[in-house]
Amino acid sequence: MNNLYTELKAEFPNLEFNREVLLANYTTVKIGGPAEVFCETKTSQEFIDLVIYAIKNNIPLTILGWGANTLISDDGIRGLVIKNSGQNIKILKDGGFSNDDTTTNDSNKKPHSDQSLIQPRWHSDKDKGSFKYEFSDLDYDESESPTVVVEIDSGVSLPYAINSLIGQGITGLQWYSRIPATLGGAIYNNIHGGTHFISEVIESVTIIDEKGNLKMISKSELEAGYDVSRFHNTNEIIVSAQLKLYLGDKEKAKTVVQEWAVRKAVQPQKSLGCIFQNISNGQKENLKLPTTSVGYIVEHILNKKNFQIGNAKVSDKHAAFIENIGQATAKDYLEIIKIIIKETKIKTGITLKPEIFFLGFKKRDLEGIIT
């Protein structure tokens, strides 16, 4: 392992590798120790070649997208960490899926088809001192618009893809405005924006499987649900995806983007988004809570808004977020998560499930968090 850096440099002379790179700089929450060897790939081909090499040579491999949902250990990550960056967006065709195409099937006309599986978030209203970001008032149906297939590399930033596509008259991603993510991270976690989930528009995903083979899987194989996809249970790597988008109303989509951006701007940015998955509807009913949002429990049942350990703090803007208000460590952050889980169990009987990912930790660090 000592020679990993030398080996990779020799094998890929055109890529830049660095040793002991501080990963805090590559996450939104600005927490995380060093990567043993770090490389930022800027094209899909660089990414594919390096991932396949790592898999075939049993090199421990971690992929980072935008780093917006990932808590990295203070000890960092051993092996190779690839920061997946890219810009490639290819508009393939509008044939085959358009509404006057007689082969169009029902599922093509139901962009909300995944919705029944998954309950969108609800947040307490202004009277309770919190804010909403369900934004259903901004929602509209564009499934009658002509469609277009677009291929996007997994390392492309979602905000870039949204703006660039709307600029070309292509809509369908406006609901995810201001979500920090690469397309790969977005698919990995099946991100949600208001009442929408990204899996609605995914047609197929090109992956590298656990043996290092490049292959394509279809939408139906994604196992997409609320904050989950098949990638949570495999070591497959997402390379790119084909999305079925719309030649929709560009101006309307722009308005949604702008309005979402304004409303989401109140969320603490030096964070990892919501830390916990919503509780179930059944749990909500049993406890007679007004919402499935864990933010409500943290704020109104645990009274933990503003609760702080070191420089990690439960946000006063949104109690489902934990912010880094200075030089917080992963240890501080984990401690708050553990306390919230423990107190929620005692006070409500509910075992909370984190919706963020933990990289570089030992099993014992995560005791009480991951069951």
Ligand X SMILES: Cc1cc2nc3c(=O)[nH]c(=O)nc-3n(C[C@H](O)[C@H](O)[C@H](O)COP(=O)(O)OP(=O)(O)OC[C@H]3O[C@@H](n4cnc5c(N)ncnc54)[C@H](O)[C@@H]3O)c2cc1C
The contact set with ligand X (CB under 6 A) reads 28, 62-70, 84, 154, 179-182, 184-186, 188-189, 191-193, 231, 237-238, 267, 269, 271-273, 357
CB of 310 to ligand X, least distance (A): 19
- Which of these, 92, 79, 114, 30, lies nearest to 243 by C-alpha position? 92
The residue among 61 and 149 lying less far from ligand X, judged by its C-beta, is: 61
Burial bucket for residue 207 (CB in 10 Å: 0-12, 13-18, 19+): buried
DSSP one-letter code for 233: G
CB of 183 to ligand X, least distance (A): 8
CB of 201 to ligand X, least distance (A): 14
The residue among 271 and 344 lying less far from ligand X, judged by its C-beta, is: 271
* Number of neighbours of residue 109 by Cβ within 10 angstroms: 14
The residue among 99 and 234 lying less far from ligand X, judged by its C-beta, is: 234
Work out the angle between the directed axes of helices 158-167 and 250-264 (0-180°, nearest 10).
Answer: 150
CA distance 249 to 259: 16
CB of 87 to ligand X, least distance (A): 15
Structure tokens at 342: 């423990």
**Residue for token digits 């169009």?**
104
Q: Supply the DSSP string of 175-204, one letter for each residue.
A: GGTT---BHHHHHHTT-EETTEEGGGGEEE
Q: Region of 40 please: left (phi>0), alpha (psi -120 to 50) or beta.
A: beta
* Number of neighbours of residue 100 by Cβ within 10 angstroms: 6
Structure tokens at 87: 């810009």
The residue among 69 and 199 lying less far from ligand X, judged by its C-beta, is: 69
* Number of neighbours of residue 266 by Cβ within 10 angstroms: 11
CB of 84 to ligand X, least distance (A): 5
The residue among 184 and 248 lying less far from ligand X, judged by its C-beta, is: 184
* CA count, 13 A, side-chain hemisphere, 363: 1
Q: Residue 166 belongs to what H/E stretch? A: helix 158-167
CB of 318 to ligand X, least distance (A): 9
The residue among 97 and 333 lying less far from ligand X, judged by its C-beta, is: 333
CB of 177 to ligand X, least distance (A): 9
Using CA atoms in the order 213, 218, 220, 222, what is the torsion angle rounded to 10 degrees? 50
The residue among 171 and 189 lying less far from ligand X, judged by its C-beta, is: 189
CB of 24 to ligand X, least distance (A): 13
Length of the chain: 371
- Tell me the torsion sign for CA atoms 273, 302, 361, 211: negative
CB of 153 to ligand X, least distance (A): 9
The residue among 5 and 188 lying less far from ligand X, judged by its C-beta, is: 188
- The contacts of residue 12 (CB under 8 Å, 6+ apart) are 39, 46, 49, 50, 53
The residue among 39 and 148 lying less far from ligand X, judged by its C-beta, is: 39
The residue among 90 and 232 lying less far from ligand X, judged by its C-beta, is: 232
CB of 227 to ligand X, least distance (A): 7
- The contacts of residue 38 (CB under 8 Å, 6+ apart) are 17, 18, 19, 21, 23, 80, 81, 83
